[in-house]
Chains A and B, each alone.
Chain A
Amino acid sequence: MIGWLTTVDHKRVGILYGATAFAFFLVGGVEALLIRLQLAVPHNALVSAGTYNALFTMHGTTMVFLAIMPFNAMFFNYLVPLLIGARDVAFPRLNALSYWIFLGGGIFLNASFLTGTPPDVGWFGYANLTSRQFTPGPSVDFWILSLQILGVSSMIAGVNFIVTIVNMRAPGMTMMRMPVFVWMTLVVQFLIVLAFPPITVGLIFLMFDRFFGTLFYEVAAGADLHLWQHLFWIFGHPEVYILILPAFGIVSEVLPTFARKPLFGAPVVVYSGVLIGFFGFGVWSHHMFAAGMGPVADSAFSIATMLIAIPTGVKIFNWLATLWGGSIRTTTALHFAVGLVGLFTIGGLSGIMHASPPVDLQQTDSYFVVAHLHYVLIGGSLFGLFAGAYYWWPKMTGRLLDERLGRLHFWVLFAGFNLAFFPQHYLGALGMPRRIYTYPPDAGWTAGNFASTVGAFGIGLGVLLFAINAWRSRRGGLAPADPWDGRTLEWRTSSPPPPHDFDAIPPVLGRDTFWREKYGRLGLVDATRTGVAPGPGVRAVQAPAHEAFHLPTPSHWPVVMALGMVTAAVGVLTHLVLVLLGALLTVFAAFRFALEHHDKPEHAHQAGGLGLDHRKLALWVFLGSECFFFGTLVATYLAYKGRSVVGPAPHEILNIPLTTISTFVLLMSSLLMVLALAAAQRGDRRETRRWLLGTALLGLVFLGFQVYEFRAFVHEGLTLQQNLFGSTFFVLTGFHGAHVSVGVLWLLTLWILDRRGRLTVGDAVKVEIAGLYWHFVDVVWIAIFTLVYLVP
């Protein structure tokens, strides 16, 4: 039992994610059934309006963040290392940390039921309904804090998997030889690290409005309520690709295995996944076609949305062509994968209909879009997840799921799902708005709603059948290593794999490397190509006969850190003391976590096949997300420039000469940081300490200037709550100051370590990473100084 609390094994973390996700999935499912029961007949009184509003809010939030995303994470965790021929992820303890933070966030969100104040503002929480004025109780606060906690979990995992996939592939596994599931995972992780910062900022704005009286969503102060919508959907649209791309990846593994031929056009499937991820950042305002953005914005986002349909459609065709000409084995996994192909096509086509703003003006905010989103999320994501479940169950548990029961599960779910959601297209066409707790009997919506409710229970029955199948598999048939005659590396090790995954790192012969190993050149015969020789590097790469490998050691700090975070969140809603205790516990645990393996020789060298240090790569990825974080803060500052209803205005209060000096100080600190790194790299410990301390001191001087400036502004009448300038200025520069403070702490920690003789030449990379962070924070300041202080 304790083993599970301290595990850092990616396989166990994956199982934890899966089991927890399933529990939350059931909670979200019950919420859905209550919704459908309430809507089964007109003017129903099963639940009150307030309860209903909480139900659909929690259903959406739970299914997106506590079910689908962690189900995806289960597969990322368990399979990515196996698929790339690695033994674990790049940062096993961070991996565990992601899980425990997720668990804490999920429990925290659902604890709102215990206080009788579950969030009830929709999973999208539009301002200004979410303001303290219109929703005074703690429901929205539960929502904000949970999402922030869950965001931290996802971001950490995002960094972890990017580094893992880039850095830890087995020798010979070039990027284009990676299984498509790994590619989709990689795209998803980039989406996560770049899409979460905008909503983090949007939620910070909302939290500050509610707790500190800032004015980000305060119409009377000149705020624009579209700000929330933009920030939410800049996250929200990539989020739907975060939800679906893993399912696309699963289908891209399952179909070739059971058609017994390669994925048709695998490179194109990869490119289209990357394009979808890229374009996914350019379509967000198609959620705002009714919001009044104007014809130019409407047209631009309409065209972008239609463009993104092309790579998506291409995938469907590639999957069809994979099955075409194959020798199809109709296992349950294949049923679900084929189900996704059909159902996602329907969902995607209804999405195309939404892409036309005039048509969308009828469809948006009606049951038509509810039908669309469930076709892509259930017909797409959930069916894909079930395909993965049946496909990889033997690998993960060592047991086979029953195929007959599985097919029953499929058909019950398929029938129930279509009965539940196809009628909703009609309900939308007949004008039924969404998010309504009841409807009149003369609207013509009664039959459709009743049918939909029946179908919803069919879905429930299907899920129950899966649960039974899963439970019974404990005594089911033992699974061999390769039950499906698979194509990829996870089938090359036992079911389940040993703790170290592979006895020897496998050779990589090309794409579908295991298939090539089994079938040799015969397997490569390609009926449509004409005499093209296989590409270079297809020769088997011999793995070393014996390599010493180091298994990651368990750690209890992830659990403690997560506990600290949740305690702090509870404190926000109860007592400040708890916030302080929770924060202290988190920081303490973070230090112990960071230093746990600091002196261990086996942790000194952490580079991968490309020669990049894991930690450096991780920091670069993190800095990418920080660009989006500060970019959002700066963009908000600029968007609200000139919109303050009362003074003081920037030109009346900013002290440019003074800030020029503090800017210079900060830039000089970067110079000292460069000197510190040079000293560390040549092993000069005294010099290293001198320049580290100098950098930290200059950072403190900069912070001192900032404190002085803030106090002067408050004295002159500019506060957080005074006007939009006050709100945006203090939040932007305040968060930058917080980043500087973290940097100072980091540098002082390194300085202390060095004083105690615990920083060696081999640790120069740690000084380098701190330096990268420090320089980044300086660059951000240059941007802030220019855009806030210098530009009139």
Chain B
Amino acid sequence: MSCCRAPIRRLVASMGALDVALGLGGCARDGPMTTLIARSDLARSILHLYGIITGVAVAIALIVAVVLVWILVRYRGRDAALPPQTRGHTALEIGWTIAPALVLLAIAVPTIQVIFRTQAAPVPAALEIRVLGHQWWWEFRYPSLDVVTANELHVPAGRPVALTLDGPDVIHSFWVPQLGGKRDVVPGRLNRLTFTPDTPGEYRGQCAEFCGLSHANMGLRVVVDAPATFERWIAAQKATPAEPTGPAAEGKAIYARSACVGCHTIRGVSTGSLGPDLTTFGSRRTLAAGMFPSTAATVAAWVKDPIALKPGSKMPALGLTDDQARAVAAYLLSLK
């Protein structure tokens, strides 16, 4: 359609400028937290605008640099005579006041459009999710589906997601670059972030507002599932975990008699609410808010001494032996 050709051309041109700029720096666009890959409508809007503005900025920078260098070469002082003592030129000054204003207008108009489009109220069909930022982990609640989980957020592809952000302690910031920009978690205010992810996959995120000792260790994962996969995930979240066998059974026994139950919820076992819900811990790919891949070894090490791994962690070491820690780890990993 003709209406799209100009924007598409601009998009291609701006992406081209972006690629040139990056290419000049010898950098890939890849990386698990890169902002240069867009996998949602929000991220695409942002990236499009980013391309335009970067293109403009790079162009202006190059022009100024070239002009500056040329001036320095051309007007290098050679003799003692005074150069013409030009004091100003009104038309020129008006010109170079208006020109930047026009360039800024070209940036401002799409900016305002994107602001209002991306901050519009979510449609009724959106999946409502409450995000609670804690020091230093993420809690996710699906009120319409009666699901609570932590640190790994699952959403279905193709359906709008309406996040409501809040928290019980300090300010954090929810940032999953490939799904869109960041939004602060401000205790006492309900902030919103709405987007529609389009591509199944696993996306990395991280807290982006300094929130204390382990701010650097407050990551998260968003898993965008195909709709059917998402339904299965929801069903698994709502199911009560089966009775564990083997070492996991011993781990459950240790868990049930330790202070763990005061902070964590495992459906059918404990109802603590100070720490993450562990009902489906075993199905998560990472632990400790994205710090480590979830394996028998890492989980056991964490259970034995969390503070050594995550400075300031509110989860204390409970004085478990290595065997006990391994058993508890086996239990937790069995919770799928």
A-side interface residues toward B, CB under 8 Å?
Answer: 48-50, 53, 121-122, 126, 128-129, 134-135, 219, 222-226, 259-262, 264-268, 290-292, 294-295, 298-299, 302-303, 306-307, 309-310, 313-314, 316-318, 320-321, 323-330, 338, 341-342, 345-346, 349-350, 352-353, 355-366, 422-423, 426, 428-439, 442-445, 448, 519, 522-529
Q: Is the CB–CB distance between A223 and B57 below 8 Å? A: no
Q: Is the CB–CB distance between B215 and A365 below 8 Å? A: no
A360 CA to B118 CA, complexed, in Å: 13
Q: Is the CB–CB distance between B68 and A292 below 8 Å? A: no
A298 CA to B112 CA, complexed, in Å: 9
Enumerate chain B residues within 8 angstroms of A129, measured Cβ to Cβ.
Answer: 170-171, 210-212
Are A525 and B186 CB-contacts (below 8 A) given A426-B22, A433-B206, A444-B31? no
Q: Is the CB–CB distance between B93 and A268 below 8 Å? A: yes
Minimum CB–CB distance from B60 to chain A (whole Å) comes to 6
Q: Is the CB–CB distance between A299 and B75 below 8 Å? A: no
Query: With an 8 A cutoff between CB atoms, is B187 at the interface?
Result: yes
A86 CA to B101 CA, complexed, in Å: 40
Enumerate chain B residues within 8 angstroms of A428, measured Cβ to Cβ.
Answer: 35
Closest to A438 in B: B216
Stretch at the interface among B83-91, B143-151, B225-233, B318-326: B83-91
Q: Is the CB–CB distance between B93 and A314 below 8 Å? A: yes
Enumerate chain B residues within 8 angstroms of A225, measured Cβ to Cβ.
Answer: 171, 186-189
Partner of B186, one of A292, A318, A346, A365: A292
Stretch at the interface among B43-51, B122-130, B242-250: B43-51
A325 CA to B72 CA, complexed, in Å: 10
Q: Is the CB–CB distance between A433 and B25 below 8 Å? A: no
A320 CA to B173 CA, complexed, in Å: 41
Given contacts A435-B210, A526-B84, 17 further A-B contacts (CB under 8 A): A226-B186, A260-B82, A260-B83, A266-B87, A292-B191, A306-B104, A318-B93, A323-B68, A341-B68, A349-B60, A352-B53, A356-B53, A362-B46, A426-B22, A430-B36, A431-B31, A433-B207
Q: Is the CB–CB distance between A290 and B82 below 8 Å? A: no
Q: Is the CB–CB distance between B46 and A266 below 8 Å? A: no
Closest to A220 in B: B188
Query: With an 8 A cutoff between CB atoms, is B312 at the interface?
Result: yes
A-B contact pairs, 11 of them (CB 8 A): A219-B187, A224-B189, A259-B83, A310-B100, A313-B100, A327-B78, A362-B177, A431-B175, A435-B210, A523-B82, A527-B84
Query: B57-77: which have CB < 8 Å to A?
Result: 57, 60-61, 64-65, 67-68, 71-72, 75-77
Are A327 and B108 CB-contacts (below 8 A) given A226-B186, A522-B82? no
Query: B169-204: which have CB < 8 Å to A?
Result: 169-171, 173, 175, 177, 180-184, 186-189, 191-192, 204
A317 CA to B94 CA, complexed, in Å: 11
Q: Is the CB–CB distance between B81 and A327 below 8 Å? A: yes
Are A295 and B85 CB-contacts (below 8 A) given A49-B216, A129-B210, A426-B27? no
Q: Is the CB–CB distance between B64 and A345 below 8 Å? A: yes
Enumerate chain B residues within 8 angstroms of A295, measured Cβ to Cβ.
Answer: 115-116, 119
Enumerate chain A residues within 8 angstroms of B27, measured Cβ to Cβ.
Answer: 426, 430, 448
Q: Is the CB–CB distance between A361 and B84 below 8 Å? A: no
Minimum CB–CB distance from B262 to chain A (whole Å) comes to 20
Are A429 and B215 CB-contacts (below 8 A) given A327-B78, A328-B72? no
Closest to A515 in B: B85
Partner of A526, one of B28, B81, B85, B187: B85
Q: Is the CB–CB distance between A262 and B86 below 8 Å? A: yes
Enumerate chain A residues within 8 angstroms of B76, measured Cβ to Cβ.
Answer: 328, 330
A687 CA to B204 CA, complexed, in Å: 78
Query: With an 8 A cutoff between CB atoms, is B20 at the interface?
Result: no
Enumerate chain A residues within 8 angstroms of B316, measured Cβ to Cβ.
Answer: none
Contact digits for B145-177, partner A, Cβ 8 Å, 1 yes 0 no? 000000000000000000001000111010101
Q: Is the CB–CB distance between A423 and B191 below 8 Å? A: no
Are A358 and B96 CB-contacts (below 8 A) given A330-B76, A353-B57, A436-B215? no
Query: With an 8 A cutoff between CB atoms, is B34 at the interface?
Result: yes
B-side interface residues toward A, CB under 8 Å?
Answer: 22, 25, 27-28, 30-36, 45-46, 49-50, 53-54, 56-57, 60-61, 64-65, 67-68, 71-72, 75-79, 81-89, 92-93, 96-97, 100-101, 104, 107-108, 111-112, 114-116, 118-119, 135, 165, 169-171, 173, 175, 177, 180-184, 186-189, 191-192, 204, 206-216, 311-312
Q: Is the CB–CB distance between B181 and A223 below 8 Å? A: no
A663 CA to B169 CA, complexed, in Å: 42
Partner of B183, one of A224, A330, A361, A524: A361
Q: Is the CB–CB distance between B85 and A525 below 8 Å? A: yes
A324 CA to B107 CA, complexed, in Å: 30
Closest to B119 in A: A295
Q: Is the CB–CB distance between A317 and B96 below 8 Å? A: yes
Are A359 and B46 CB-contacts (below 8 A) given A349-B61, A525-B84? yes
Enumerate chain A residues within 8 angstroms of B45, measured Cβ to Cβ.
Answer: 358
Closest to B90 in A: A265
Enumerate chain B residues within 8 angstroms of A266, measured Cβ to Cβ.
Answer: 87-88
> Which 3 pairs show the lowest CB-CB distances between chains A and B?
A361-B181, A431-B33, A444-B31
A523 CA to B192 CA, complexed, in Å: 63
A643 CA to B35 CA, complexed, in Å: 39
Are A309 and B100 CB-contacts (below 8 A) given A264-B88, A291-B186, A523-B82? yes
Enumerate chain B residues within 8 angstroms of A122, measured Cβ to Cβ.
Answer: 210
Q: Is the CB–CB distance between B68 and A342 below 8 Å? A: yes
A313 CA to B97 CA, complexed, in Å: 8
Q: Is the CB–CB distance between A431 and B312 below 8 Å? A: no
Are A524 and B85 CB-contacts (below 8 A) given A328-B72, A353-B57, A426-B22? yes
Q: Is the CB–CB distance between A361 and B87 below 8 Å? A: no
Closest to B25 in A: A426
A366 CA to B182 CA, complexed, in Å: 10
Enumerate chain A residues within 8 angstroms of B36, measured Cβ to Cβ.
Answer: 429-430
Are A128 and B181 CB-contacts (below 8 A) given A259-B75, A295-B116, A444-B34? no
Q: Is the CB–CB distance between A261 and B107 below 8 Å? A: no
Q: Is the CB–CB distance between A353 and B53 below 8 Å? A: yes
Partner of B182, one of A317, A327, A362: A362
Closest to A265 in B: B88
A426 CA to B54 CA, complexed, in Å: 12
Minimum CB–CB distance from A382 to chain B (whole Å) comes to 19
Closest to B45 in A: A358
Enumerate chain B residues within 8 angstroms of A519, measured Cβ to Cβ.
Answer: 82
Closest to A222 in B: B188
Are A342 and B115 CB-contacts (below 8 A) given A134-B212, A433-B208, A435-B215? no
A352 CA to B55 CA, complexed, in Å: 12
Q: Is the CB–CB distance between A326 and B83 below 8 Å? A: yes
A414 CA to B51 CA, complexed, in Å: 28
Enumerate chain A residues within 8 angstroms of B312, measured Cβ to Cβ.
Answer: 49-50
Closest to B310 in A: A49
Q: Is the CB–CB distance between B50 and A362 below 8 Å? A: yes
Of residues A364, A423, A445, which shows the largest number of chain B Cβ atoms within 10 Å of its Cβ? A364
Partner of B83, one of A219, A292, A325, A342: A325
Partner of A327, one of B75, B86, B88, B169: B75
A53 CA to B169 CA, complexed, in Å: 19
Enumerate chain B residues within 8 angstroms of A316, measured Cβ to Cβ.
Answer: 64
Minimum CB–CB distance from B260 to chain A (whole Å) comes to 24
Enumerate chain A residues within 8 angstroms of B204, measured Cβ to Cβ.
Answer: 431
Q: Is the CB–CB distance between A327 and B83 below 8 Å? A: yes
Closest to B78 in A: A327
Q: Is the CB–CB distance between B188 and A223 below 8 Å? A: yes
Closest to B110 in A: A356
Closest to B209 in A: A365
Minimum CB–CB distance from A131 to chain B (whole Å) comes to 8
Are A309 and B87 CB-contacts (below 8 A) given A128-B171, A365-B208? no
A134 CA to B172 CA, complexed, in Å: 13
Are A357 and B86 CB-contacts (below 8 A) given A129-B212, A365-B182? no
Closest to B105 in A: A306
A264 CA to B92 CA, complexed, in Å: 11
Enumerate chain A residues within 8 angstroms of B67, measured Cβ to Cβ.
Answer: 320
A295 CA to B22 CA, complexed, in Å: 31
